[in-house]
Amino acid sequence: MPPQADAGTIAGTLDGDVTPDNPGLDAASLFGGGKPVILQVIPTLVTGGAERGCIDMAAAIQRAGGTAIVVSAGGQMARELDRYGAKHIQLPVQSKNPLTMRRNAARLTDIIKQHGVDLIHARSRAPAWSAYWASKRADIPFVTTFHAPYNFKGRVKKWYNSVMAKADRIIAVSGFVYEHVATEYGVGADRLRLIHRGVDVDIMSPDKVTQARMAQLIQQWRLPEDQRIVLLPGRLTRWKGQGVLIEAISRLGRSDVRAVLVGDEQGRDHYRQELEDHIRRLNLGGQVTIAGHCNDMAAAYMLSDVVVNASIEPEAFGRVIAEAQAMGRPVIVSDLGAVKETVINGETGLVVPPNDPDALAGAIRAALDLDPLQRQAVGLDGMRHVRANFTKAGMCAATLAVYAELLG
């Protein structure tokens, strides 16, 4: 297992909101008497795992008594920063235009000087170039997070990606990503840290979901009461494997099962139409629902009998599967990427070959046929597994420990 950042006992102090009664960890003890100003840079704050991690860390920094600043091109998630007292500065850091990136570097340098920034943390490649140049000009530590094993087909693209490996500390969100960074960019354990993405177990907790919330989704999605629900959460894109699940439902041959595809098409209207045509060809109109975006994923997990990841390309982490286990749901995952790190095969879920509808259908059948005691045991094992290894508090604590390494 790659070396992980030493979170110490920080995680226990990070749960809950910042209030006068819950000020969070004392930064003086963590950072040797200082109260650091941490600047995170991310393309946008629209939606996604990287964006959620950025917001979570801003809250953790504020809880620890530091000052959190986020620079992005904006988005609806930026409003969440106000809740934690963090500052948002809008710049076009999503741009890949070299001139804009240079201008962004100059603006970031000004922000560093104006706000007394102690460390800069970049979460994507285009803003990472600007942050890297700014960190050199201001002579402050530079941190990056590899949220994925960025693809490259030539030397130019690999050079573009390589900025993420230039940092004083590089965070990989899974062991799968860690090995990619170590192998492809030659980064050693002196700079590379494994910090798994984390689930907010205060939100993803079965006892927090009311019957009313579940009933609202049942009505919204028009789900019948006599069908078992197989949930596939993930944006509508081909590599997420929605088509594989549709084929598996067809081969399962059970009218008491309904697949619900939850996720935004994000402009991929052609792919959604392709899925709808596929459903019609297989005569599965009564067994597959394309639900679109969902604002209450905790309730969606609670409605499900089994949660599926059918990806046909490797996942960098697979947050929805960790969330589903936190909610006590049996899970099925493709044997690709990092999801194998989050699932204990045969205990918290099942691992199947990718792009294999027959194998997926068999695993769905096995999961649905669990008796109540078996289902309870799988659910409890999954909840314990996530709470021991993949919590938001643990992720934030380990990242704060990386900052403390550099700030001393």
CA distance 404 to 322: 27
Q: Angle, to 10 degrees, between the axis of helix 49-63 and the axis of helix 392-407?
A: 60
AA identity, residue 125:
R
Quick check: 69 and 37 in contact, CB under 8 A? Answer: yes
Q: Which two tokens stand for residue 238?
A: 């081909």
Whether the predicted pLDDT of 8 surpasses 70: no
CA distance 403 to 408: 8
β-pair type (67-72, 119-122): unpaired
Per-residue pLDDT tens digits for 232-279: 999 899 999 999 999 999 999 999 999 999 988 777 789 999 999 999
Q: pLDDT class for 31, splitting at 50, 70, 90?
A: low
CA distance 319 to 131: 27
Longest dimension (CA), the chain: 66
Per-residue pLDDT tens digits for 129-158: 999 999 999 999 999 999 988 877 778 889
Q: What is the average pLDDT across 92-98?
A: 95
Candidates 176, 249, 201; CA nearest to 2 is 176
Whether the predicted pLDDT of 46 surpasses 50: yes
Q: What is the DSSP string of 20-46?
A: TTB--S-HHHHTTT---EEEEE-S--S
R_g of the chain, CA atoms, integer Å: 22
Which pLDDT does position 1 carry in this prediction?
A: 52
Tell me the pLDDT of the chain averaged across its residues: 90
* Cβ within 8 Å of residue 224, ≥6 positions away: 258
Percent of the chain with pLDDT over 70: 92
Which pLDDT does position 269 carry in this prediction?
A: 83
DSSP-derived letter for residue 148 is S
Q: Which two tokens stand for residue 209?
A: 């979901």
CA distance 135 to 156: 23
Q: What is the average pLDDT across 327-352?
A: 93
Whether the predicted pLDDT of 387 surpasses 80: yes
Q: Which two tokens stand for residue 179?
A: 């090995």
Candidates 242, 301, 310; CA nearest to 275 is 242
Neighbours of 281 (CB within 10 A): 10
User: pTM here?
Assistant: 0.87
Domains of the chain: 11-198+391-407 (3.40.50.2000), 206-389 (3.40.50.2000)
Whether the predicted pLDDT of 62 surpasses 80: yes
CA torsion 43-118-133-107 (nearest 10°) is: 60
Which pLDDT does position 318 carry in this prediction?
A: 87
Which pLDDT does position 3 carry in this prediction?
A: 57
* Cβ within 8 Å of residue 217, ≥6 positions away: 223, 294, 296, 299, 300, 303
Whether the predicted pLDDT of 385 surpasses 50: yes
Percent of the chain with pLDDT over 90: 81
- Residues written for the chain: 408
